[in-house]
Chains A and B, each alone.
Chain A
Amino acid sequence: MNKLKKYAASRSGRDTLLSFGIVIVAFVVVQALVLTGGISSSMKGLLVPICAYIIMAVSLNLTVGILGELSLGHAGFMSVGAFSGIVVTTSLADTIPSGVVRLILAIIVGAICAAIAGVIVGVPVLRLKGDYLAIVTLAFGEIIKNIINVLYIGKDASGLHFSILEQKFTLDETGSMIINGPMGVSGVEKLSSFVSGFILILITLFIILNLINSRSGRAIMAVRDNKIAADSIGISTTHYKLMAFVISAAFAGMAGALYAMNYSTITAAKFDFNTSILILVFVVLGGLGNIWGSIIAATLLTLLPELLRAVNSYRMLIYAILLIAMMLFNNSSLKERLLEKRAMKQMEKLEKHDKEGA
């Protein structure tokens, strides 16, 4: 019991417990509401996207907050996961009737494909620093979008057909298009559910929080804080940079697959620069390196535009004002004072523990 208390009082322990606590309590409350029918359909419709955005924000926090590199192409990885996941679920529709199994497969394949994309982008890109890296990741996001825009994938009795730029294959009468170039995907089976989103968040939190608190995590943070110092003590900066980047990409791929299976139609244009920025906003407003902050920011900022629907055209205005207010608060002396107070209290707690222990 004492051990747990001490763990809860330490910074990393508190963050971990808080992150899991928020997610589990929120899940229990919302699931109870869903089962008793006490939730409106608009809120119900938002559950899966919120789950996907939380995973996106947490994974981007690994790159931006923990690794300290600005990535502006996170939505690109999301789209890789989304479209590879769709190809998997659609092509396996006849062989595997169970929707849950197909969703899991789609998420795994989505994660692998996004991780591969992460390696391809990461190897050359992570040699760059700061602004340059940001610009290249931005370009990558656009390239992925444009590639999927000219990608044609169809399925018929003889298997899958691929072509680039225009549809160069003809399908037999049983065939159907999976990805139809700029028209994207239509008629996706909706396999995602709130429960699957919740489990995926737990997996994400478990892996990412453990990574952060592990030796590798400390090495990644050392690279962020001072590359030269990290180099000098024998940490392979490229290796750890790539590791954080690829793990972050893989989770974005998972989120993409989850997101895509929640809509019957999806186009590459959805995963554009604006989506990347939106996720970056979640991370920045939640606090760089702060995982539970990302969870709350992603949830709030996804809910907010819907909650503001009642005020019609003022919606966008208020949304923007709230963003500005939150940013001001993040930098205000008010917050600093609050943080100081909290730190003082914690110090006292730890001291008390130490005394009790002695």
Chain B
Amino acid sequence: MKKSLSMLLAGLMLVGALAGCGGDTASTDSGDSSASGTAFKIGGTAPLTGDAAIYGNAVARGAQIAADEINAQGGIQIELKFEDDENNTEKAVNAYNNLKDWGMQLSLGSVTSKPCEAISTDINTDRIFALTPSASSVATTEGKDNVFQMCFADPNQGTASADYISEQKLGTKIAIIWKNDDVYSTGIHDKFVAEAKAKGLEIVSETTFTDASATDFSVQLNDAKSKGADLIFLPMYYTPASLILTQANSMGYAPKFFGVDGMDGILTVENFDTSLAEGVMLLTPFNADATDDKTVAFVEKYKEAYSEVPNQFAADAYDCIYAYAQALEAAGATPDMSNEELCDAMIEQFTSMTFNGLTGENMTWDSTGAVSKSPKGMVIENGAYVGM
């Protein structure tokens, strides 16, 4: 009796849940059908749930703001759709295929590196042009003529960081803590070490962590401390970085910290004492506190819609949509063009155009798909990013 009751309850919940979502899907469906044929269909896969959801949602939101702005101007109309890939290569391919069924003409690739690598081969064979906001590994674009990046490729960040440190004489003995099961972190680390050697920087301590050990950094910090490192390079995302800062502080160890673009967002970590991040330096293409009109307007809109400060992922996605709009306009593309035609037109545009966006001025792309823009050195002062 008890069992059949629980069965009944489970069944009821199911019906309820299905009914609850019914309304949602119906409304998006009607939106799709009314716009198709007159708007460019741009799709992307993003981790909207799971560990990397913070990046996926930032991209989806940033892109949405840009699409709404462009649609409001009249002219080019954009229809945007994101499918969840859970930061998983298998799910990313499924999500990509789903977008293809939807009729995607232009792709935003994927937010994270590995999923984007997985789908970029398909993107290449299907001849759909892709511009990824944040998948930074080299393998994403390698050998594919129609996959472009809005963010720096990982190696560029490593090299740029080493150059910056040696030029500004920020440290003499450098320690690196990196995540060796992560493409992003490993890619930056390898190039940093190579460039540091070439520039004569002394690396005294190299310690690693993985997903499973991303909660305790006392071993790594003690190693750096005992070897007298005066600067710690942190090529990682901000969540582990915030723990490193907290633990270094409780150890009474205060070297300089230097991060890369993944560090952007550290001031928004919940329960993190932002005073610990004072003096942390990072290279990032986007600064939410910048005072130029574009950034101010974007940050304001983002805050209003989602009540949080946008990070560089949101800004990269925003730029992606605007870059698409500029390229589509220049190419005189129309929404009834097939994805093959659009792909050829976009390759031609992106390799020849110059784009000004939130994350850089005078951006250009070479034929490999890598972007050229200059990273901005930032330092955290009084709880805000300040240009160095």
Query: Among the listed A40, A265, A331, A333, which residue makes an inter-chain contact with B118, where contact means beta carbons less than 8 Å apart?
Result: A265
Are the CB atoms of A311 and B89 closer together than 8 Å? no
**Across the interface, which residues of A come within 8 angstroms of B84, CB to CB?**
309, 312, 315
Q: Does A95 lie at the interface of the complex (its beta carbon under 8 Å from any beta carbon of B)?
A: no
Are the CB atoms of B21 and A306 closer together than 8 Å? no
Q: Does A36 lie at the interface of the complex (its beta carbon under 8 Å from any beta carbon of B)?
A: no
**Across the interface, which residues of B come within 8 angstroms of A311, CB to CB?**
18, 21, 24-25
**Across the interface, which residues of A come within 8 angstroms of B10, CB to CB?**
321, 324-325, 328
Are the CB atoms of B20 and A270 closer together than 8 Å? no
**Across the interface, which residues of A come within 8 angstroms of B89, CB to CB?**
263, 265-267, 270
**Interface 1/0s, chain A 30-51, versus B by CB < 8 A?**
0000000000111011100100
Are the CB atoms of B24 and A325 closer together than 8 Å? no
The CA-CA distance from A150 to B93 in the complex, in Å, is 26
Query: Among the listed A49, A150, A186, which residue makes an inter-chain contact with B117, where contact means beta carbons less than 8 Å apart?
Result: A186
Q: Does A226 lie at the interface of the complex (its beta carbon under 8 Å from any beta carbon of B)?
A: no
Query: Among the listed B3, B24, B101, B182, which residue makes an inter-chain contact with A312, where contact means beta carbons less than 8 Å apart?
Result: B24
Are the CB atoms of B94 and A314 closer together than 8 Å? no
Query: Among the listed A181, A184, A187, which residue makes an inter-chain contact with B180, where contact means beta carbons less than 8 Å apart?
Result: A181
- Which residue on chain A has the smallest CB distance to residue B88? A270
B339 to chain A, nearest CB (A): 13
| Given A318-B17, A334-B7: A313 touches B139 (CB 8 Å cut-off) | no
A-B contact count (CB 8 A): 120
Q: Does B79 lie at the interface of the complex (its beta carbon under 8 Å from any beta carbon of A)?
A: no
Are the CB atoms of B21 and A325 closer together than 8 Å? no
- Which residue on chain A has the smallest CB distance to residue B181? A182
Are the CB atoms of B186 and A181 closer together than 8 Å? yes
Q: Does B114 lie at the interface of the complex (its beta carbon under 8 Å from any beta carbon of A)?
A: yes
B5 to chain A, nearest CB (A): 10
**Across the interface, which residues of B come within 8 angstroms of A40, CB to CB?**
97, 101
**Which A5-50 residues sit within 8 Å CB-CB of chain B?**
40-42, 44-46, 49
**Across the interface, which residues of A come within 8 angstroms of B91, CB to CB?**
305
Are the CB atoms of B97 and A44 closer together than 8 Å? yes
On chain B, which size bracket covers the interface? Answer: 35 or more
Q: Does A317 lie at the interface of the complex (its beta carbon under 8 Å from any beta carbon of B)?
A: yes
Are the CB atoms of A41 and B100 closer together than 8 Å? yes
**Across the interface, which residues of B come within 8 angstroms of A265, CB to CB?**
89, 114, 117-118, 121, 139
**Across the interface, which residues of B come within 8 angstroms of A306, CB to CB?**
94, 98
The CA-CA distance from A292 to B49 in the complex, in Å, is 33
**Interface 1/0s, chain A 252-291, versus B by CB < 8 A?**
0000000000011111111000000000000000000000
The CA-CA distance from A311 to B24 in the complex, in Å, is 7
**Across the interface, which residues of A come within 8 angstroms of B180, CB to CB?**
149-150, 181-182
**Across the interface, which residues of B come within 8 angstroms of A315, CB to CB?**
84
B240 to chain A, nearest CB (A): 15
Are the CB atoms of A186 and B186 closer together than 8 Å? no
Are the CB atoms of A187 and B139 closer together than 8 Å? yes
The CA-CA distance from A322 to B11 in the complex, in Å, is 9
Are the CB atoms of B114 and A267 closer together than 8 Å? yes
Q: Does A316 lie at the interface of the complex (its beta carbon under 8 Å from any beta carbon of B)?
A: yes
Are the CB atoms of A183 and B7 closer together than 8 Å? no
- Which residue on chain A has the smallest CB distance to residue B138? A186
**Interface 1/0s, chain B 199-235, versus A by CB < 8 A?**
0000000000011000000000000000000000000
**Interface 1/0s, chain A 186-222, versus B by CB < 8 A?**
1100100000000000000000000000000000000
**Across the interface, which residues of B come within 8 angstroms of A344, CB to CB?**
none
**Across the interface, which residues of A come within 8 angstroms of B95, CB to CB?**
309
The CA-CA distance from A311 to B182 in the complex, in Å, is 31
Q: Does B4 lie at the interface of the complex (its beta carbon under 8 Å from any beta carbon of A)?
A: yes
- Which residue on chain A has the smallest CB distance to residue B143? A187
Q: Does B187 lie at the interface of the complex (its beta carbon under 8 Å from any beta carbon of A)?
A: yes
**Across the interface, which residues of B come within 8 angstroms of A318, CB to CB?**
14, 17-18, 21
Q: Does B344 lie at the interface of the complex (its beta carbon under 8 Å from any beta carbon of A)?
A: no
A170 to chain B, nearest CB (A): 12
Are the CB atoms of A182 and B186 closer together than 8 Å? yes
How many residues of A are in contact with the other chain, CB < 8 A? 46
- Which residue on chain A has the smallest CB distance to residue B10? A325
**Interface 1/0s, chain B 13-44, versus A by CB < 8 A?**
11001101100110000000000000000000
**Which B316-372 residues sit within 8 Å CB-CB of chain A?**
none
Are the CB atoms of A328 and B3 closer together than 8 Å? yes
Are the CB atoms of A269 and B100 closer together than 8 Å? no
Q: Does B289 lie at the interface of the complex (its beta carbon under 8 Å from any beta carbon of A)?
A: no
- Which residue on chain A has the smallest CB distance to residue B154? A183
**Across the interface, which residues of B come within 8 angstroms of A267, CB to CB?**
89, 114
**Interface 1/0s, chain B 279-296, versus A by CB < 8 A?**
000000000000000000
Q: Does A310 lie at the interface of the complex (its beta carbon under 8 Å from any beta carbon of B)?
A: yes
The CA-CA distance from A328 to B6 in the complex, in Å, is 8
**Interface 1/0s, chain A 46-78, versus B by CB < 8 A?**
100100000000000000000000000000000
Are the CB atoms of B3 and A333 closer together than 8 Å? yes
**Across the interface, which residues of B come within 8 angstroms of A174, CB to CB?**
none
**Interface 1/0s, chain B 68-94, versus A by CB < 8 A?**
000000000000000110001111011
Q: Does A232 lie at the interface of the complex (its beta carbon under 8 Å from any beta carbon of B)?
A: no
**Interface 1/0s, chain B 112-134, versus A by CB < 8 A?**
00100110111000000000000
Are the CB atoms of B83 and A309 closer together than 8 Å? yes
**Across the interface, which residues of A come within 8 angstroms of B11, CB to CB?**
325
Are the CB atoms of A325 and B97 closer together than 8 Å? no
Q: Does B145 lie at the interface of the complex (its beta carbon under 8 Å from any beta carbon of A)?
A: no
**Across the interface, which residues of A come within 8 angstroms of B48, CB to CB?**
313
The CA-CA distance from A103 to B296 in the complex, in Å, is 55
The CA-CA distance from A273 to B9 in the complex, in Å, is 31
Q: List 28 A-B contacts (CB under 8 A).
A: A40-B97, A41-B97, A41-B100, A42-B100, A149-B181, A182-B186, A182-B210, A183-B186, A184-B114, A186-B117, A186-B142, A187-B139, A190-B121, A264-B121, A265-B121, A267-B114, A306-B94, A312-B21, A312-B25, A313-B48, A318-B18, A321-B13, A321-B14, A321-B17, A325-B11, A328-B6, A332-B4, A332-B7
Excluding A186-B117, A265-B117, A267-B114, 12 further A-B contacts by CB distance (< 8 Å) are A42-B94, A182-B180, A183-B187, A263-B89, A269-B181, A309-B95, A315-B84, A318-B14, A324-B10, A329-B7, A332-B4, A333-B4
8 A-B pairs with least C-beta separation:
A264-B121, A186-B139, A311-B21, A42-B97, A45-B97, A182-B181, A265-B117, A314-B21
